[in-house]
Structures are given as C-alpha cells and as structure tokens.
C-alpha cells in the first residue's frame, strides 16, 4: 500500500465522505469532509488531497491531507452527505417533547438525493425534507420501535432502513400509511444491523453489516431472508460501501480495526497488484466462471463457482475504523486513533 497517506488530526473521526464528482469527471476526487465525535467541541472539517505531482505549500509531504476549513458542530457527527442547502433543521429527532433540552434523540443517519433529504434517528422516526423548505415534508413517527441505524435510497421514492433488531425495511413515500412496504429480517438471532448500501447498478442487491461483523447480501425481489451471509469481522461493522463505478468491489470497515476489500471480479489477468501486499486474508474459493454477466457475482451463492478475494487493507490494526468512503481510485478512512488515511491508488 505505497500510496496510503496518514495524518493524525487530534479528533476521533466518525464520518468521512468524498465530495461527489460529476459522473464524467476524469480527475480523481480531491476534497473530502470529515466529522468528529466524542469531543466537547466537535468539528466538521474539509480537507484537500492535492495532486501527487504538485508541490506542497510548505514543502510538506505531498499527498498528506491539508485542512481547508472547519466548523463547530454540536454533538457527535453521526452521518454526512453533500448537498447545497442553506437550512438548519433543529430538533428533527426527539423522544418525548420536541423542544426540551433533554428530550432530544440522536439522529443516526442521513441520506440525500438532491433535493430530498431523509433522516432517521434513535427515536425511530423518519423525516423527509426538501432542501428549499423549512419544515419537514413528511414525518413518520414511531416508524420503528427500536433505533434506526442507517438509511439509503432504493429508488427515488423508496428508502431502505436498518434497525437494531436486525430488520431491513423498505419504505415507500408514495404510500400514505406509515407502515413499511416490506420487512426483511435475518433468521436466527436478531442481531442489530448497522449499515446498508445498495448496489449502484442492480437495485435489487442490497448489502448490510451487522453488530457481529456479518455481511449479508439481500435480493429484495425475492424472499425475506438474505441471499448470503458472510462471516467477516470480529466486531460491529460500521460501514459497507459498494464501489460506485466498479460494483464488483465492496468495502467494509469495522470496530475491530480492519477494513476489508471484497472483490468478486473474476477476470484473472487483471488482478490488481495491491492485493498482493498487506495482510492477505482467506477465502479463495475456486476457479472463475466465464459467464457472469447477468447474474451478479454477489447473488450467486454457489461457492464452487465463485471466487471472491478478500483483503485486509490495514496491516497493523489497533482501534476501530469508523468510516470509509470510496470514489474512483481513491479511498479515505478514519479511525478512533484520531487519524485519517487516504489511498489514492486503489486499483493501481
């Protein structure tokens, strides 16, 4: 991993997100935002990772993230998305009484699909906002009896949420009733699910990560149970992301301090070289399939036909990796050891 730059930033990082680039952009992303947690004075900071070729400002090591600006934030930063908006929606999540000081509840997830913003929280509430309106467009009170941990858009009018009793729910905003359109859950123990992500191209494939570090792949067209359960980490999986442009690659990060790269691309000749370094983990199944076009590799659960490479990208793991984001060839992740790491050559 030659191109990983680390920087210690004196704050525990809870979320890091790349600034989105237009789809046709040729440049790799160069700006990302991070949010901190567990400080008396939390901050959201924007960092720039310059081009590898250009000289640093003070002759510093190029490639180290440089702080552009930051802003104070009340409370821990739980989730971040990029949008241009100029509103503040206060007291979006609360338990009993909206405006008392101790009645507030943590907002655990936010997702945007310009111009709509959806938030979910520990109070089991789902709020839908529009960027230009002051009040919530729609609020589903008591959508869930437990904490909603994460949310993502399924289609423009549907969202997916995961909660702390191990359920994946689809909500359709076109319907007026305050019930989920569909509920999926794991069999066995109701392990809380912490993160969810949808396949960028094939919208019926959804990945979730649970408290026991298990990665579950679901096909929401059929059944109420996951298609495959993969034993991954040894502790809570905090984030799971499909790579937006190479969806055969999946990234997960966890409380046990590891960040795994799951690769189901089966083209043998183009094996990315970075996979041959670092801590290589197990899971070679067998030789490749040639015809893998229609049925995504994620859904086929025949272990003899599939081959998945799983690599741990962190050689010496200590504290939890709380967040990761991947865009193009760049990966950024933040840890509880108060450090940010940027890898700008993922597929070199």
Q: How far is the CB of 247 from another protein (least distance, A)?
A: 28
320 binds another protein (CB under 8 A): yes
Whichever of 146 and 228 has its CB closer to another protein, that residue is 146
Q: How far is the CB of 80 from another protein (least distance, A)?
A: 14
CB 323 within 8 A of CB 340: no
235 binds another protein (CB under 8 A): yes
> Three-state DSSP class for 169?
strand
Extract the tokens encoding 128.
Answer: 């839908």
Which residues, 6 or more positions from 111, have their beta carbon under 8 angstroms from its beta carbon? 81, 117, 118, 151, 152, 153, 159
Whichever of 12 and 249 has its CB closer to another protein, that residue is 12
Which stretches within 218-285 are classed as H helix? none
CB 201 within 8 A of CB 189: no
Q: How far is the CB of 272 from another protein (least distance, A)?
A: 27
The β-bridge partners of 37 are 12
Stretch of 85-93, 142-150, 170-178, 273-281 contacting another protein, by CB under 8 A: 142-150
> Three-state DSSP class for 273?
helix
192 binds another protein (CB under 8 A): yes
One residue of 63, 180, 210, 328 binding another protein per CB under 8 A: 180
40 binds another protein (CB under 8 A): yes
339 binds another protein (CB under 8 A): yes
> Three-state DSSP class for 328?
coil
Residue 246: exposure state from Cβ atoms within 10 A (0-12, 13-18, ≥19): middle
106 binds another protein (CB under 8 A): yes
Binding residues among 236-275 for another protein as defined by CB under 8 A: 236, 255
Extract the tokens encoding 344.
Answer: 């700008």
Q: How far is the CB of 285 from another protein (least distance, A)?
A: 30
The per-type count for the chain, helices as H runs and strands as E runs, is 0, 25
68 binds another protein (CB under 8 A): no
Whichever of 42 and 264 has its CB closer to another protein, that residue is 42
Size of the site for another protein (CB under 8 A): 51
Rounded CA-CA distance 180/159 in Å is 10
β-strands 249-254, 259-263 pairing: antiparallel
172 binds another protein (CB under 8 A): no
Binding site for another protein (CB under 8 A): 8-12, 14, 37-40, 75-76, 78, 95-96, 105-106, 108, 122-124, 142, 144-147, 163-165, 167, 169, 180, 183, 185, 187-190, 192, 211, 235-236, 255, 316, 318-320, 336-339
């Amino acid at each position: 991993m030659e191109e990983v730059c680390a920087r210690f930033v004196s704050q525990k990082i809870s979320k890091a997100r790349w600034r989105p680039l237009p789809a046709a952009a040729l440049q790799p992303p160069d700006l990302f935002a991070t949010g901190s947690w567990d400080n008396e004075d939390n901050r959201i900071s924007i960092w720039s990772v310059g081009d590898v070729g250009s000289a640093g400002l003070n002759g510093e090591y190029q490639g180290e993230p440089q702080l552009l600006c930051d802003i104070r934030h009340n409370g821990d930063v739980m989730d971040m998305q990029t949008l241009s908006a100029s509103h503040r929606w206060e007291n979006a999540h609360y338990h009993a009484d909206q405006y008392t000081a101790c009645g507030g509840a943590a907002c655990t997830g936010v997702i945007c699909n310009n111009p709509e913003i959806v938030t979910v929280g520990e109070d089991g509430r789902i709020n839908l906002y529009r960027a230009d309106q002051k009040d919530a467009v729609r609020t589903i009170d008591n959508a869930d009896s437990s904490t909603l941990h994460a949310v993502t858009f399924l289609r423009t009018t549907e969202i997916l949420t995961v909660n702390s009793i191990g359920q994946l729910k689809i909500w359709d905003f076109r319907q007026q009733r305050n019930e989920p359109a569909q509920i999926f859950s794991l069999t066995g123990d109701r392990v809380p699910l912490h993160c969810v992500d949808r396949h960028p191209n094939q919208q019926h494939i959804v990945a979730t990560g649970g408290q026991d570090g298990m990665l579950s792949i679901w096909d929401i067209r059929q059944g109420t149970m996951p298609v495959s359960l993969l034993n991954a980490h040894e502790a809570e999986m905090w984030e799971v992301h499909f790579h937006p442009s190479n969806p055969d690659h999946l990234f997960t990060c966890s409380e046990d301090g590891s960040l795994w790269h799951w690769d189901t691309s089966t083209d043998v000749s183009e094996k990315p070289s970075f996979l041959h370094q670092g801590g290589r983990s197990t899971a070679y199944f067998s030789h490749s399939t040639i015809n893998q076009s229609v049925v995504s590799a994620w859904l086929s659960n025949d272990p003899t036909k599939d081959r998945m490479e799983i690599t741990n990208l962190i050689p010496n793991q200590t504290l939890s990796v709380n967040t990761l984001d991947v865009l193009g060839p760049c990966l950024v992740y933040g840890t509880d050891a108060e450090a940010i790491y940027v890898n700008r050559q993922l597929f070199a």
